[in-house]
Every structure is written in structure tokens, then in C-alpha cells.
Amino acid sequence: MQLLLMPNLDKPNVHACVRRLTAMHFPEPVIFMMDERLKGNFSGCGPLKWGPFDELMEGCDACIAIGGDGTIIHSGKSAARHHKPVLGINLGRLGFLATLESDQLEKLQYLLTGEYTVEERMLLKITLCSPDGSREWLAMNDAVLSKGGPLTQIIELNVRNGEQGVGFYRADGLIFSTPTGSTAYAMSAGGPIVDPALQCICLTPLSSHSLFSRPIIFDANSVLYAQPASGSPKQGIYLTIDGEETVSVGPEKTVRIEKSETPVKLLNLTGKSFTDVLNEKLIWRSRK
């Protein structure tokens, strides 16, 4: 089995975790691979196969994301583009998407014995349309439209589902999230928690200036459009994808939000259900 390691260099324990992984003994041969651009950072680790990232991704059986939820999201989208499953090892604080903690590395042998499940998670395809062309992204958690001007100003957005109007929003912003992302920013903004086994698009307003503006859950086949209204501030509106990349959305641009045809596949080696993880990492920790 060939496993592509995708470590977050900003995590203080990442080198120790990689050393422990490469020193482990498995009942069958396991080849750990890593992007050749990281070779100088892991020279003291055990045997690693180095090469160009895309070639290693094509040749691997699975990806191992080592870090926090952000690392798993970033790695998961890369793995999804190549139709590879991804396993998360948590070195962060919450690690809601991770299967293993750093002290559970021995469970990695379950990949060889087949004692695991594969959970398919829906991704969003986000398209920024403008007269000059379009740009596309995948979002595993969410796409957020938010204000970029002074804190006292709110933005105005028109939202429709296909050709049917959804609403006019005066708010700090809007969150369009997947079921996976429903436990992230959307939850903090008062959105619903959605079982990730479902397929839907969640719209959660951010501090909406209305008594009747509430989160809405759309069918996964919906194609949503969000466009700045004429009353939006001159400072502009910004689109942020999974907290990774932010671009400006001018009045002549439209953001299209829809289900991606490609899901991300998360490997589960512990057998814990979504509600198990929800209780352990969100509800239980909040009571400590």
C-alpha cells in the first residue's frame, strides 16, 4: 500500500508524528510518500518516497493529512480532484474531521486489514462569474460573502435559486455551507447542524438586519446565485472559500453555488458515528 503524507509544517509535533509513522511495522509492506518540495523538512525521518506531488497523488492508494481541520480540508479537496480517499490525523485543537489522534497511530494498520469505512462528503462548486470570465473553487466547508468596508456598514445581496428569487439580504454577510461545514462557521452564526450523510446546501445569514431572516436548507440539486445589490458599500464584498482564499466581488459579478459532482472520501478507522464525534468534540468539550 502506498500512502501519501500531507503534513502541516506549522504544527509543532508534525515532525515527530511523521517519524513515528515511518518507523512503524505493518503486516504488509507500506510505502510512505511525500512531495519532494518538503524533502528538506523531513530529512531525519524514516524511508520516504519523494516525487512530484501530482505524480505521487496519482500513484497513491490514500492520502494522510497530518494537522488540524484546515489541513484535512485542504488535503481533502486535493484528494477529491484525484478521486483518492483521505485520512486525517489530528495535531490541532478540535480535529472534528480527523479519524485518528496522534496517540492512535497503531490503528493505521486497519487500512491493510480492511477494518474501516469510507464516508462520502459533499463538496460545493463555487463559481465567480464576471464579464471578463469566471473562476472556480471547491469548498468542503463553506463559501462566505462578507463586507470589506468599515465595521458599521452592512452589505446588500440578492439571492436566487435558479430563476426563482430567494430573498434580499441586508447583513454582515452570507454563509453557504455543506453539511460538513454546518459544524463550522455556520454553526457559530446560528445555522443548523446537519448530518454529513445528507446532501444539501445551507444558507446562513450573518447578523441580518431583519426579524425574519433565518437559515435555509436547499436541496442538493439547487443552483444558487448571489449578487451584490445596488445599495452595497463602495468598499466592496469579499468571497472567502474555506477560509483559504479571498477574492473581491464587484457589483458586476455573480457568485454561483452548487453541488460538486466530485465528493471527498474520508476514511474512518475508529467506527465512530457523526453523533459520537459531535458529542465528544463539540458538546462534551464545551462543558469542560
Tens digit of pLDDT for each residue in 45-82?
Answer: 889 999 999 999 999 999 999 999 999 999 999 999 99
DSSP H or E stretch at residue 67: strand 62-67
Q: Residue 232: which pLDDT band, with cuts at 50, 70 and 90? A: low
User: 259 with 120: CB under 8 angstroms?
Assistant: no
Is the same domain home to 252 and 268?
no
Q: What domain range is 148 assigned to?
A: 124-259
C-alpha cell at 249: 466581488
Contacts 24+ apart (CB under 8 A), 108-111: 108/21, 108/24, 108/26, 108/269, 109/26, 109/27, 110/269, 111/1, 111/3, 111/62, 111/87, 111/267, 111/269
- By CB neighbour count within 10 A (0-12 exposed, 13-18 middle, 19+ buried), where does 155 fall? buried
Q: How many domains does the chain have?
A: 2
State which of 118-127, 141-150, 206-215, 273-282 shows the largest mean pLDDT. 118-127
pLDDT of residue 150: 63
Nearest of 96, 74, 105, 104 to residue 7 by alpha carbon: 74
Q: Average the pLDDT over 105-112 and give the result.
A: 94
pLDDT of residue 259: 98
- Average pLDDT of the chain? 92
Active-site residue 142, yes or no? no
C-alpha cell at 231: 445599495
CATH no. for residue 78?
3.40.50.10330
Q: 35, 69, 142, 242: which is the annotated catalytic residue?
A: 69
DSSP H or E stretch at residue 50: strand 49-51
Q: Average the pLDDT over 139-162 and give the result.
A: 88
pLDDT of residue 278: 86
Is the same domain home to 152 and 71?
no
Is the same domain home to 193 and 236?
yes
Is the same domain home to 59 and 139?
no
Separation between Cα atoms, residue 110 and residue 271, nearest integer Å:
11
Is the same domain home to 91 and 157?
no
Is the same domain home to 144 and 255?
yes
Is the same domain home to 61 and 12?
yes
Q: Residue 31: which pLDDT band, with cuts at 50, 70 and 90? A: very high
Is the same domain home to 132 and 254?
yes
Is the same domain home to 48 and 136?
no
Q: Residue 27: which pLDDT band, with cuts at 50, 70 and 90? A: confident
Is the same domain home to 34 and 82?
yes
pLDDT of residue 286: 47
pLDDT at 92 over 90: no
Is the same domain home to 220 and 139?
yes
Taking the whole predicted model, whether its pTM rises above 0.85 is answered as: yes
Is the same domain home to 133 and 248?
yes
Q: Average the pLDDT over 82-103 and give the result.
A: 90
pLDDT at 135 over 90: yes
CATH no. for residue 254?
2.60.200.30
